Amino acid sequence: MIKFVNSVQDLHACLLRWQQNGHRIGLVPTMGGLHEGHLSLLSLAKAHCDKVVTTIYVNPTQFSATEDFGSYPRNLSDDLQTLSNKNACDLVYCPQQMYLDNHATQIVSSGVALRLEADSRPHFFNGVATIILKLFNQIKPDVAIFGEKDYQQLMVIKQLVRDLDLQVEIIAGHIQREKDGLAMSTRNSYLSDNERKTASNIYRILQKTARNLQENQSVSEAINAGILELNSVGINNIDYFSINDPNTLEPIAKFNSDARMLIALYVGTTRLIDNIAVPFLSESRIHS
Ligand code: AMP
């Protein structure tokens, strides 16, 4: 039976027993609207831990006033049903109150939190880092699992753990995709049927751009060709399409080592993000 709590007191009562028994506790933070991407992180947590906690909380501080905090999909009863059908975790924590009325402290992230998402959403990573630190403090997990779907967020969390000496191991989960390649996302439910078809081009174009790079196109040529192809399928509103160092997230001018390709764009009014690894292949491997 999955336990459900929504106060920090009930959370602690449940965790205390597990901690006293020496259980290794894994955490998967989510905002709900659960899909196979979230469930894959929970499976990973189960494989690494004795007890798995998932949180469902739409964190207001990572949304700006013009973003979709009010309309973000909230289906708590569906989510609880999904978790229980799959026996996906041991405890679900849906905090009723995360921030006191006079809450006045925020983590300010720099380094890998600069550029990319931060250029369009300057509030975002400070909100994410603050809520994740609060969840780490409340739950004290041994392990926390984050998806590569939000690659920059994953790097921000790793940086937070390193910089603040947090005693938690961060494990990354691969991106789960629909059959046509679209990265699973709660926000995909915003797409109309036509937009959904358009969105299926994103992964194809990422892969093609990666191949172009691996076949010796320059970074700017590959990105420009990718943008033209996105335009040709009706995607014109692109926040970024960038090839970056996979660890520092510095943009790279020349492709001569493994890289990460990251993209954020709008299909209609829905903002989608995706990314893929771009391994650097030696000359002999490309032409063999
Ligand atoms: P969210 O509920 O969107 O805040 O996401 C919660 C966690 O699930 C984050 O660590 C995300 O990176 C991860 N996640 C979201 N979509 C996917 C996906 N398609 N594949 C794997 N992980 C995902």
pLDDT tens, position by position, 97-139? 999 999 999 999 999 999 999 999 999 999 999 999 999 999 9
Share of the chain above pLDDT 70, in %: 98
Band of pLDDT at residue 286, cut at 50, 70 and 90: low
pLDDT at 282: 76
pLDDT at 169: 98
Pocket of ligand 1 (CB under 6 A): 30-31, 37-38, 40-41, 146-147, 149-150, 173, 175-176, 183-186
* CB-CB contact of 96 with 6 (8 Å): yes
Fold of 3-173: Rossmann fold (3.40.50)
Band of pLDDT at residue 283, cut at 50, 70 and 90: low
- This model's pTM is above 0.95: yes
CATH architecture of the domain 186-278 equals 2-Layer Sandwich (3.30)
Show me where the domains of the chain are located.
3-173, 186-278
- State pLDDT tens for residues 128-176: 999 999 999 999 999 999 999 999 999 999 999 999 999 999 999 999 9
Say if residue 26's pLDDT is above 90: yes
Question: Mean of the pLDDT values across residues 66-70?
Answer: 94
Pocket test for ligand 1, best of 35, 39, 41, 93 (most atoms within 8 A of CB): 41
* Helix runs in 151-200, H state only: 151-163, 193-199
* CB-CB contact of 212 with 225 (8 Å): yes
Residues known to be catalytic: 38
pLDDT at 288: 40
- Distance in Å, CA 36 to ligand 1 centroid: 9
Cβ atoms < 10 Å from Cβ of 104? 6
Say if residue 284's pLDDT is above 50: no
Termini Cα distance of the chain: 54
